[in-house]
Structure 1
Amino acid sequence: MELSKSTLNSGLSFSMEFGKNWLVDIQDRLRNENFELTTSELDFCNKLCKKVNKCAHDYVSNNPVKGDKEISFMEFSQFAKFMKSKYEWISDKNLSHLYSQSCYYALK
């Protein structure tokens, strides 16, 4: 299924929201911006965005940088390179948000 980079990035942004929309499926919010999308396209985007989030969170969690006294996280550039190799459509803004959110979850 071929969706535009803009649509995919909107969906990814929706999938990372906190507050009342935290962990809520994105189809309704995405439909409000892209009324021409079919139900199967909306479902595909929702599933893909969940997959992207899980990939990012797992990558950060599974690759801590161990220092003398504390554990920190990989450099953003390493994270960005990895994620772009899998999902080249992700915007820089979403990459940054995904990285900070993945680091946050890794601390929990």
Structure 2
Amino acid sequence: MDFSKEILNVALNMSMEFGENWLKPIHERLNKKYPEISSENLEKINSICKEVNKFANDYVYESGSVINQEISFVDFNIFKDDILLKYSWISKNNLNRLYNQSCYYAMK
């Protein structure tokens, strides 16, 4: 099943939440917003979000460099172009958040 850009972006946004929902599955929260989505499809959407987050985190981590003890990350526009080649449905807001979180995790 193909999912709408709206649903995928809401789900991706949920998957990047900090606080009490940090790194928790999104099934329950997504089901409250979209009760018509089956359990099977909730699992598929959760898997897509995990895949996107892992891809972005790995991309930023592997593209970064350290020069004179200064961390340098891949330029956002390069990141954006490469991410959108693989996941064309991601919104501008989610791209920004995904990049910022990936940079944060790469520093850890």
What TM-score does the superposition give when structure 2 sets the normalisation length? 0.96
Shift of 1:67: 3.8
* Match of residue 38 from structure 1: 38
What TM-score does the superposition give when structure 1 sets the normalisation length? 0.96
* Match of residue 106 from structure 2: 106
* Match of residue 71 from structure 1: 71
* Match of residue 19 from structure 1: 19
Alpha-carbon distance in 1 for matches of 2:69, 2:87: 34
In the TM superposition, structure 1's runs of 4+ consecutive aligned residues that sit over 3 Å from their partners are: 65-69
Aligned residue identity for 1:3? F
Shift of 1:70: 1.6
Aligned residue identity for 1:32? K
Shift of 1:32: 0.8
* Match of residue 94 from structure 1: 94
Name structure 1 gaps, 5 residues minimum: none
Aligned residue identity for 1:49? C
Aligned residue identity for 1:27? H
Alpha-carbon distance in 2 for matches of 1:68, 1:84: 32
Task: Please list the CA deviations of residues 41-99 of structure 1 after superposition, one character each: whole Å capped at 9, or x if unmatched.
Answer: 10000001000000000000001144455221111001100100000000000000000
RMSD of aligned alpha carbons? 1.0
* Match of residue 59 from structure 1: 59
* Percent sequence identity over aligned pairs: 47
